[in-house]
């Protein structure tokens, strides 16, 4: 008979944390190889592969800039150029959205590999981080170029933006990982998330600033993505950030990521048996 007490639970938790840390150090090269394989497989049959990733947000930004200049979108309270506002928003959203969708479906996409070899949860997580960091390089370059074109480039602000940009990847990773076990067991979860992301796309200050009154204002107050995207714009352009809201979102991202990572570490083997 096995007797569980508070001490045994505590030891189990500590052992898991040690294993998680050990796997991060040990499996970083495996994660790099997985990310490299994923990048090669995506762009191997395309001559201008990365350009396609930017055509959609840039073309959408062009449409909304035209709508703004045609007075279909009211941005009287906006303290920055609408062109740079929408470029920042769309490119940041692209990274966040892609990271979340990569995370939530990581077990299903890797089921063949996971059935053949023992890959740690940390290797899968780091492969997503490496993969999205690769895309982030080009996103940051695009933002810097558009900032220079619109005469809004601020060197110090851009360096701060570069330093804080991983927050967007970590936010998508945290939200995706917390839902990964549910999506692995029931694909309806992934379908629902895609619908939810489309709604968030229009209510997270991506394409236009949210009004200060009405239902959208209330949504914006409680939507952490609004605080994240708005303050990242302020940082990149050298504006003063809303420190309290920004710090709250940063703390929430790391707390959610810690919980999601721990749950994913514990459940990966069980999930592999179910796929």
Residue 73 DSSP class: S
Least confident of 28-32, 41-45, 120-124, 223-227: 41-45
Joined tokens for residue 134: 């690769």
pLDDT of residue 48: 65
The number of beta carbons lying within 10 Å of the beta carbon of residue 92 is: 27
Tens-digit pLDDT profile for residues 195-229:
999 999 989 989 888 887 788 788 888 899 999 99
Contact 163, 77 (CB under 8 A): no
The number of beta carbons lying within 10 Å of the beta carbon of residue 15 is: 10
End-to-end, the C-alpha distance of the chain in Å comes to 32
Helix (H, G, I), strand (E, B), or coil: what is residue 40? helix
Contact 119, 35 (CB under 8 A): no
More confident residue, 79 or 54: 79
Least confident of 54-58, 209-213, 233-237, 260-264: 54-58
Exposure string over 160-175, b if 16+ CB within 10 A, otherwise e: bbbebbbbbbbbbbbb
Joined tokens for residue 217: 């204002």
* pLDDT tier for residue 171 given thresholds of 50, 70 and 90: very high
Least confident of 21-25, 58-62, 182-186, 224-228: 58-62
pTM: 0.89
pLDDT of residue 46: 65
Sign of dihedral through CA atoms 133, 240, 152, 79?
Answer: positive
Residue 52 confidence (pLDDT) above 90: no
Tens-digit pLDDT profile for residues 115-136:
788 889 999 999 999 999 998 9
| Tally of CA atoms within 13 A in the half-sphere of 129 that contains its CB | 21
pLDDT of residue 4: 39
Sign of dihedral through CA atoms 86, 92, 97, 102?
Answer: positive
More confident residue, 47 or 103: 103
Residue 53 confidence (pLDDT) above 80: no
């Amino acid at each position: 008979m096995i007797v569980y007490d508070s001490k045994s639970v505590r030891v189990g938790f500590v052992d898991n944390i040690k294993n998680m840390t050990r796997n991060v150090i040990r499996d970083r090269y495996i994660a790099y190889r997985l990310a490299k394989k994923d990048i090669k497989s995506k762009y191997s049959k395309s001559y201008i592969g990365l350009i396609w990733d930017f055509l959609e947000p840039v073309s959408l930004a062009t449409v909304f800039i035209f709508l703004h200049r045609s007075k279909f979108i009211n941005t009287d309270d906006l303290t920055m150029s609408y062109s740079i506002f929408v470029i920042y928003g769309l490119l940041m959203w692209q990274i966040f959205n892609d990271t979340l969708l990569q995370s939530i479906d990581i077990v299903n996409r890797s089921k063949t590999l996971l059935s053949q070899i023992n890959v740690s949860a940390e290797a899968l997580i780091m492969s997503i981080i490496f993969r999205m960091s690769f895309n982030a390089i080009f996103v940051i370059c695009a933002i810097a170029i558009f900032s220079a074109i619109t005469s809004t480039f601020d060197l110090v602000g851009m360096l701060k933006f570069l330093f804080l940009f991983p927050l967007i990847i970590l936010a998508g990773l945290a939200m995706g990982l917390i839902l990964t076990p549910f999506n692995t067991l029931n694909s309806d979860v992934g379908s629902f998330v895609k619908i939810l992301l489309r709604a968030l796309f229009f209510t997270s200050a991506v394409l236009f600033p949210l009004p200060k009154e009405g239902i959208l204002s209330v949504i914006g107050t409680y939507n952490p993505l609004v605080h994240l995207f708005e303050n990242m714009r302020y940082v990149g352009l050298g504006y003063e950030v809303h420190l309290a809201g920004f710090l709250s979102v940063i703390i929430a991202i790391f707390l959610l990521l810690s919980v999601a990572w721990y749950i994913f570490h514990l459940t990966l083997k069980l999930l592999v048996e179910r796929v």
